[in-house]
C-alpha cells in the first residue's frame, strides 16, 4: 500500500473562521497551551496528537501502557502519565496544570460492562477537571436520535456527554456520525463486508439513514473547538454532506474500490446479536467491537441542526463527501493534490491513513507467505542467485507448477511465462521477468516483483538478503491483496502449492549460493 496524504487537512496557519490557527493560542507569558489527551493511542487520538504538537500545544497523555506510547512516532514530544482512567489519583496527576482536556476514550470493547466503565471514567474526569480548574473539556460522542430508547452503545455515549455537560467545567460535546477513514472500526466493517460478500442478506438497519463524516473533518472540528469561547457548554452534531443508507454506503465503497455493485437484501430475522456474530465471522473486526457498532445502526442517525457552523466554520474547501472520504481512506488521492502545511511541521501521516496505533485488523486484507533461512554464503553470493531468477534460469523450485501457472495465465488472456527476461544477471526497475515486473531493486539487498498475471487482487514477491556474522540471512515474502471473495478463495486454493513452491525456492537459492556447482 503506497503512502498517501490527505487533501485539505486542517491548516495550522490559516486564520480562524476558515481553518483553526492553533498557534494563536499561546498565552501572553509565552507559554504553550497545555492539553491532556485521553485516548491518545486510539483511532482519533493518534491522529489528533501530532496536529496539536504541530500547532504549538504542550501535550500530555494518560495511558495504561507507557510502552504503547513509546512505540509511536511522536512519543518523545509528549508527556506521559501512566495509569488507568478510572483511577482518581492517576487522573489528578494527569490533569495538573492542564488547560484543555480531549476526552476520546470509550470502552465498547470492554465486554458487557462498558457502560459502567464509561460512566466511572466520565465521573472521574468531571471531578478531576473541576479540582484542577481546567478551562475546557472536548468530548467526541456519537450522533443519535432524540426521544427514543437508544441501543446500549449510543446510550452510553450520550450518558458520558450528559455527565460532562453537567460538570463544573465548560464542555463541548461533538456528536459525530460514522467516521470514514482507514482504521475506523465502522469503516473497516464496511470495507470488509463489501469486499468479501458479492451478495449480503442483511438486517433491516441497512435501510436506516446515516450521515457519515470523514476523519479529517472530525479532526478539523476537534482542533477548532479548542478556540471556542470559554462560556460555551453544549452539544453539537457533526456530519458530512451526504445522508445515506448503510446499503448505499456499502455500494458507494464498492464503486470506489472497483468492485461490482453488491446485492443487499434486508431481512427481519437478523437480531443485533446474530448480526454481530455474522460480522465477526465475515470481517476481522472483533465481535466485542462489532456488536455495539451493529446496535448503534439500529437508529437513523443524522445531523438535527447546523448549530456547529456558528461556532466552527467548515473547512474552506467544504466538508468531505462520502466517496471522496473513501478515496482518501484507500489512498486514491494523489500526493501532488495535497496541502502540505502540517507535513512541513513533520507530522507523520494523514488523518485518513492507517496509523501505528490502529488495531492490527485495521486496513485492507493482506495475505503473506514469509520464509527465511541463514546461510554460510556471503550476501554477495546470495544476491547473485536472487538477481538471476526467472527466464532461462527458472524459479528454483517446482518448475512444473510454475509452468502450469504460466499456462493458466495465458489461457486467461495474461502474459504467461513466455516473456523471459532481458538479461540473465542484471535486473533493473521496470524490467519484465516472466509474469512479474521489477518494482524495486536495492542492489545487493532486495528485489521486489509485482505480478502481472491474471489474479483476483494484487500480488508481490520479495527476495532479499542481509549480512550476518559468518554469512547471510536470506528472506522471502509473497504478498497478496485479495479483491473480494474471489480473491480470498484464490489465496486459499493456492496454499498447498505455496508450501511446495516457496519452501523449495528458499532451500534452492541458499544451496546455490553456498555451492554454485550444485546448479
What's the CATH number where 272 sits? 3.40.50.720
Last residue of a domain, one of 313, 344, 375: 344
pLDDT confidence tier of residue 149, bands split at 50, 70 and 90: confident
Same domain, 36 and 139: yes
Mark whether 254 and 151 lie in a shared domain.
yes
Residue 4 lies in a domain: no
- 247-294 tens-digit pLDDT: 898 899 999 988 888 888 777 655 656 666 666 666 666 666 777 777
| Residue 236 pLDDT exceeds 70 | yes
- Band the pLDDT of 420: cuts 50, 70, 90: low
DSSP state letter for 341: H
Print the domain residue range for 485.
Answer: 367-518
Shared domain for 307 and 397, answered yes or no, is no
Does residue 471 form part of some domain? yes
**Average pLDDT score over residue span 126-131:** 96
383 neighbors 445 (Cβ within 8 angstroms)? yes
Is residue 15 one of the residues assigned to a domain?
Answer: no
- 60 & 193 share domain: yes
d(CA 296, CA 155): 9
Predicted local distance difference test score (pLDDT) of residue 23 = 46
> Is 320 found in the same domain as 208?
yes
Q: Is pLDDT of 426 > 60?
A: yes
Strand, helix or coil for residue 464 = strand
Q: Are residue 389 and residue 289 in the same domain, yes or no? A: no
Alpha carbon distance 404, 401 (integer Å): 5
Residue 481: exposure state from Cβ atoms within 10 A (0-12, 13-18, ≥19) = middle
Amino acid at each position: 500500500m503506497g503512502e498517501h496524504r490527505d487533501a485539505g487537512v486542517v491548516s495550522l496557519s490559516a486564520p480562524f473562521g476558515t481553518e483553526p490557527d492553533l498557534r494563536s493560542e499561546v498565552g501572553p507569558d509565552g507559554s504553550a497551551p497545555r492539553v491532556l489527551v485521553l485516548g491518545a493511542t486510539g483511532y482519533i487520538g493518534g491522529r489528533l496528537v501530532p496536529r496539536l504538537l504541530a500547532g504549538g500545544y504542550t501535550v500530555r497523555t494518560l495511558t495504561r501502557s507507557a510502552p504503547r506510547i513509546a512505540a509511536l512516532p511522536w512519543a518523545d514530544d509528549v508527556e506521559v502519565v501512566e495509569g488507568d482512567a478510572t483511577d482518581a489519583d492517576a487522573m489528578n496527576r494527569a490533569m495538573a496544570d492542564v488547560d484543555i482536556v480531549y476526552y476520546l476514550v470509550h470502552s465498547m470493547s470492554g465486554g458487557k460492562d462498558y457502560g459502567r466503565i464509561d460512566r466511572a471514567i466520565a465521573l472521574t474526569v468531571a471531578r478531576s477537571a473541576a479540582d484542577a480548574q481546567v478551562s475546557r473539556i472536548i468530548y467526541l460522542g456519537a450522533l443519535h436520535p432524540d426521544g427514543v430508547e437508544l441501543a446500549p452503545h449510543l446510550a452510553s455515549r450520550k450518558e458520558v456527554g450528559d455527565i460532562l455537560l453537567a460538570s463544573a467545567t465548560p464542555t463541548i460535546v461533538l456528536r459525530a456520525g460514522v467516521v470514514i477513514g482507514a482504521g475506523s472500526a465502522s469503516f473497516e466493517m464496511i470495507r470488509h463486508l463489501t469486499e468479501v460478500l458479492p451478495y449480503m442478506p442483511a438486517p433491516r438497519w441497512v435501510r436506516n439513514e446515516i450521515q457519515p463524516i470523514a476523519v479529517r473533518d472530525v479532526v478539523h472540528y476537534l482542533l477548532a473547538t479548542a478556540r471556542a469561547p470559554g462560556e460555551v457548554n453544549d452539544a453539537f452534531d457533526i456530519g458530512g454532506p451526504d445522508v445515506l443508507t448503510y446499503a448505499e454506503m456499502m455500494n458507494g465503497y464498492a464503486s470506489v474500490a472497483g468492485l461490482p455493485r453488491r446485492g443487499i437484501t434486508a431481512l427481519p430475522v437478523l437480531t443485533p446479536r446474530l448480526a454481530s456474530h455474522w460480522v465477526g465471522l465475515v470481517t476481522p473486526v472483533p465481535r466485542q467491537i462489532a456488536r455495539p457498532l451493529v446496535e448503534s445502526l439500529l437508529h437513523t442517525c443524522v445531523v438535527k441542526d447546523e448549530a456547529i457552523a456558528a461556532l466552527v466554520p467548515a473547512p474552506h474547501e467544504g466538508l468531505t463527501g462520502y466517496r471522496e472520504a473513501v478515496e482518501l481512506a484507500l489512498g486514491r488521492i494523489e500526493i501532488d493534490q495535497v496541502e502540505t502545511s502540517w507535513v512541513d511541521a513533520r507530522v507523520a501521516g494523514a488523518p485518513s491513513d492507517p496509523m501505528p496505533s490502529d488495531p492490527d485488523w485495521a486496513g485492507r486484507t493482506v495475505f503473506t507467505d514469509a520464509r527465511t533461512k541463514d546461510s554460510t554464503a556471503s550476501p554477495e553470493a546470495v544476491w547473485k542467485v536472487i538477481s538471476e531468477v526467472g527466464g532461462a534460469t527458472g524459479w528454483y523450485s517446482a518448475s512444473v507448477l510454475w509452468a502450469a501457472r504460466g499456462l493458466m495465465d495465458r489461457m486467461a488472456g495474461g502474459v504467461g511465462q513466455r516473456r523471459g527476461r532481458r538479461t540473465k544477471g542484471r535486473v533493473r526497475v521496470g524490467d519484465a521477468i516472466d509474469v512479474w515486473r521489477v518494482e524495486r531493486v536495492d542492489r545487493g539487498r532486495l528485489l521486489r516483483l509485482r505480478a502481472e498475471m491474471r489474479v483476483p487482487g494484487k500480488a508481490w514477491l520479495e527476495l532479499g538478503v542481509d549480512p550476518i556474522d559468518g554469512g547471510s540471512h536470506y528472506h522471502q515474502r509473497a504478498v497478496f491483496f485479495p479483491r473480494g471473495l474471489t480473491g480470498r478463495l484464490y489465496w486459499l486454493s493456492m496454499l498447498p502449492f505455496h508450501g511446495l513452491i516457496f519452501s523449495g525456492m528458499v532451500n534452492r537459492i541458499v544451496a546455490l549460493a553456498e555451492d554454485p556447482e550444485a546448479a
